[in-house]
Amino acid sequence: MSVESTETNPLRALSPQDLRAHAAEALTRARERSVALTDVDDEDLVRQHSKLMSPLVWDLAHIGSQEELWLVRDVGGREALRPDIDDIYDAFQHARADRPELPLLGPEEARKYVREVREKSFDILEKVPLQGRRLTEDAFAFGMITQHEQQHDETMLATHQLRKGDPVLHAPAPPPSRSGRLPAEVFVPGGAFTMGTSAEPWALDNERPAHEVAVEAFFIDTTPVTCGAYAEFLDSGGYEDPKWWSERGWAYRSEHGIHAPRFWSREQDGWWRTRFGVHEKVPAAEPVVHVSFHEAEAYAAWAGRRLPTEPEWEKAARFDPATGRSRRFPWGDEGPTPEHANLGQRHLRPAEVGAYPAGVSPLGVHQLIGDVWEWTSSGFEAYPGFAAFPYKEYSEVFFGGDYRILRGGSFGTDAAAIRGTFRNWDHPIRRQIFSGFRCARDARPGEVA
C-alpha cells in the first residue's frame, strides 16, 4: 500500500539555479574521485587485477558511455560522440571476466572521451529545463548519473583492494570511538512504519514508493559486528563446524577452502589483514569487512542471533518513535557530514564502532550509514506499486534472483549514493565488496529494552 511520505527533503526547496549548482557539484565530486582512482600507470589501468572485476580502464570508459547515453543523447538531444563503443561498454553484454579481451579504449583515449562527454553534460545542465519531464524533474538524470559514477568508483576502489603491489592510495585514519561504552543491543518496538520513499528526488526506482510495513518487536545490535567479536567466532572453530552454517554456505566454504574473512591471515601473534597494499594487524574495534552473506549468517547462528530483515534494518535506521515518522537518514533529513558517517573514501577503512555519535538513530543505533555495507536476510524484491524508471535493467531484471540485500553504504560509498532507503544487492558469496553486518533477535513476549 502506498502511503503519503513523511520526509522533508532539502533538495526540493532549492531554486532552479541552486539545483543546477548542486547537480554540478555532485558530478564534479564524482569525477574527481574517478580521476584519482585511475591515476595509476597505464599497465595497472589496463590489467585485470581479478576475474571478479573489470580492468579500471573499462570502468572509466563505461562511466563516460552511460553519461553520453543519458545526458548527452537523451536529455540533451545531442549527436552521439562514440556510438561505435555502445556495445563494448554495455555491462549486460559482457561478463567482467571477458572484458579484457574487448577492443577497449586505451588509457589516454578513455580519459579524453570522458572529458569530452562531461563538457557537453555541463552545457546541457545549464540549458535544459528542470521541470516538465520526469527524467529531468529535480535534475533526476544528473543525480542518476552521479550515483552511477560513484557506484563504479566504489567498484574501482574494490579493484584497488584486490590489486597486488605497493600501496597507491592513501588517506588519513578515521576518528576513534567517541561514544564510550555502548549497550550491546537496542530494542525496536513492533508496529508499522513508512518504508521506502516517494519524496526523495534522486531515489532510484527500487526505493519507491513509500509504503507501510509492520514488523514485530525485535532487538538489533547497537553497532556492526567488530573484528574482535568475529575473531572469537574464528578462534572457537566456527569455520570448521557445519552446525553454524546453512547447507549452501557450508558447501561454498568447503569447496573454496574459506577459513577467515577475505584478506585475513593467521600469524603467530594473531590475525592480520592486507588493506590496499598495507599488511597490518586486524583492529579489534573496527567493524569486520569482506565477509559474505554465508559467513555473516554463520556468525549470527553461532552468537545465538540472526541477520535482520530488510524492513527491520530500515525501521532501526529511520523510524522516530517520538514523531512516528521516517527520516531520510538516522540523524535527520539533512545530508551526511564528516561528523555523521564514514563515507566518500575520506578514509580507507571502517572507523571504530562508536566513532560517529552524531549519526545515531532516534532509537540509539550507531553507524547505520557508512563504514560497511550490512547484509540482511532479505532477497531483492519489488515494493508494492513498483514501476521501472527510467529503464528495466537497473532493478527489475534482478528481482527474485539469487541475491541478498545490503544496506547502509560503506567507507567507499559517496554521500550522493546513499540514504536511509537505498538498496544494494549482491550474490551471497560475494566477499570482495566492503560488506559487514550486524545481528538481530526476536523480542520475547513482554520483553522491552
**Residue 96 is assigned to a ligand binding site:** yes
Burial of 180 (0-12, 13-18, 19+ CB in 10 A): exposed
Per-residue cell: 153:
568508483
Q: Cα–Cα distance between 273 and 275 in angstroms, integer?
A: 6
What region does 7 belong to: left with phi over 0, alpha with psi -120 to 50, or beta?
A: beta
Asked if residue 366 belongs to a known ligand binding site, the reply is: no
Amino acid at 206: N
Q: Which residues pair with 436 in a beta bridge?
A: 374
Q: Are 218 and 443 in contact (CB under 8 A)?
A: yes
**Any known ligand binding at 13?**
no
Q: Is 349 labelled as part of a ligand binding site?
A: no
Q: Is 51 exposed, middle or buried (0-12, 13-18, 19+ CB in 10 A)?
A: exposed
Distance of CA 26 to the CA centre of its chain: 17
Cell of 333: 533529513
Rounded Cα distance between 397 and 240, Å, is: 37
Calculated CA dihedral for residues 306, 311, 314, 320, nearest 10 degrees: -110
What is the rounded CA–CA span in Å between residue 325 and residue 260?
A: 40
How far apart, in Å, do the first and last CA atoms of the chain sit? Answer: 30
Instruction: Say if residue 97 carries a ligand binding annotation.
Output: yes
Binding-site residues for gamma-L-glutamyl-L-cysteine, please? 96-99, 426, 430
Binding-site residues, please? 62, 96-99, 148, 152, 426, 430
Binding-site residues for Fe cation, please? 62, 148, 152
